Amino acid sequence: MSAITADEAGRLDATYSDILRTHRRQFLWPVGLVVLVLAYLTYAFFAFGVPELIAKSRLDRGILLGLDSVAYKVHVEKNLRRDLFEVAVEGERTATYDPASLPDWVAVSGASGYEGRVDIEMGGGYLFILEGETLTVTGPGLQRPFVVTAGGDTLTWQGDTPPWIELNPRKVDIKPSLFQRAQVTSGRILVFRYFWGWEDFWFDFRSPLNGLSAGELWSLAWSDERIEPEMSNAAFIFDEFWGNEGWQHGDVFKALLETVIMAFLGTVVAAAVGLPLAFMAAANVNPEPLSRFVIRRFFDFVRGVDMLIWSLIFIRAFGLGPLTGVMAIALTDTGTLGKLFSEAIENIDNKQVEGMQSTGAGALTRYRFGVIPQILPVFISQSLYYLESNTRSATVIGALGAGGIGLKLVETLRTGKDWENTAYIIVLTLMVVVAMDMTSGWLRRKLTGVGRD
């Protein structure tokens, strides 16, 4: 294949200038579009202060919060000011171990944990030793034990100091890994050991059922020897699980049910009100332009104001409670569903309506048998979709004060330490949303006969 000369290229350019110009334009506009998008993203990156946000972010804290969501920690505390030694799950007073039944990885030598020596097996080859006002750390990466002494105005230390030990005269942080930590201040030595899972998920720390295996619980449920004389063992097991004070399974379930009911009632009211208004807003049903204009602007108004704004207005007007959530969902979705239904009515095949009209059928009969069967698939499909969507919206609305699972979620976030409870509620909410999606899909197929991927 030989290359063309400059004269031949000029002749081709002059002869087929329009074609070549079109080809260049088709080649250049996608490139220009990509450049424009990249320029916008670059502007947004700096306009929204992303570099400053990255600079202020604390990845270590984010990792720690993530760990708290899927694991729990046991605190071993020696309080030098209060002459106190205790071992507790998550540091809770209600989940404090009895001195006679400490975990097997905490060994006390001497009269007590405060006066004697405490050997804490941290896993991974690390050993933390509490004795007097000192904490001694031995393990991988330490040729000489690290010893920090508290009790005075400032801390003193000696031994090897690897990078995972942060030194400060006021506080020393020891972090061999995510699962082993210790903090030493002038008045307290605090050791944390993490374990995978959610602590005391099934039963309270003080419950007689805590720590029993599934087989032991099954045998106990069918045993004739009752733990509580007033109820059967099976009922007692369920009551202990349902009334778990740490995880509040009963309260969480009630809040979740309240959220589903809130979404269901709001969607039903919106569909029931939106359908008749949709007939009045459809041009092929209502010939009056003024009334159509008013109804359509009403749809625009109620759906133009976000559901969260309506919720805040109703909370201000009527107070806290699920009723405000139902009203916010119903009002917003009345506008959205009414618009969708009216457009579906305007797109029906008028031959069915005209055929019924030719037989002398009245207006209501024509609408019942000529219009509704045509829009029924749209009505069912859209209503079920918004029911599914409103389950998520009801969670957010509940967080504002309307109640339900959203309020429970905010309560766990407010404490700043119950991240495992937060993860539990999020998982339950996702499960409900998935269940609603599967249920609405099944109902849609059954009621409309239309398949779904």
Report whether pLDDT(1) > 60: no
Report whether pLDDT(349) > 60: yes
Q: What phi and psi, each to the nearest 5 degrees, are found at residue 418?
A: -90, 55
Report whether pLDDT(388) > 90: no
Rounded to whole angstroms, the Cα distance separating 29 from 175 reads 55
pLDDT value, residue 453:
46
Rounded to whole angstroms, the Cα distance separating 257 from 384 reads 18
pLDDT value, residue 25:
64
Flag the least confident range among 123-132, 191-200, 222-231: 222-231
Rounded to 10 deg, the angle between the 289-304 and 322-346 helix axes is 140
pLDDT value, residue 332:
92
Which pLDDT band holds residue 2 (cuts at 50, 70, 90)?
low
Flag the least confident range among 97-106, 163-172, 290-299, 407-416: 407-416
Which pLDDT band holds residue 80 (cuts at 50, 70, 90)?
confident
**Structure-block tokens of residue 5:** 């000369």
Instruction: Say whether 123 sits in a helix, a strand or coil.
Output: strand
Closest CA to 326 of 276, 380, 394: 394
pLDDT value, residue 7:
64
Q: What value does the mean pLDDT take over residues 65-75?
A: 85
pLDDT value, residue 186:
87
Report whether pLDDT(268) > 90: yes
Residues 80 and 151 sit within 8 Å (Cβ to Cβ) = yes
pLDDT in tens, 156-174: 899 888 989 999 888 999 9
Report whether pLDDT(20) > 60: no
Name residues whose C-beta falls within 8 Å of residue 139's C-beta, 6 or more positions apart in sequence.
122, 124, 125, 126, 127, 176
Q: What value does the mean pLDDT take over residues 118-146?
A: 90
Residues 170 and 153 sit within 8 Å (Cβ to Cβ) = no
Report whether pLDDT(452) > 60: no
Which pLDDT band holds residue 99 (cuts at 50, 70, 90)?
confident
Which pLDDT band holds residue 19 (cuts at 50, 70, 90)?
low
Rounded to whole angstroms, the Cα distance separating 427 from 433 reads 10
Rounded to whole angstroms, the Cα distance separating 128 from 229 reads 46
Report whether pLDDT(442) > 90: no
Q: What value does the mean pLDDT take over residues 3-31?
A: 64
Instruction: Say whether 181 sits in a helix, a strand or coil.
Output: strand
Task: Note the pTM of the prediction, 2 decimals.
Answer: 0.77
pLDDT value, residue 378:
81
The one-letter code for the residue type at 250 is G
Q: What value does the mean pLDDT take over residues 406-418?
A: 79
Determine which helix (DSSP H) or strand (DSSP E) holds 23, and give its type and residue range: helix 17-47
Name residues whose C-beta falls within 8 Å of residue 89's C-beta, 6 or more positions apart in sequence.
72, 73, 74, 75, 95, 199, 200, 205
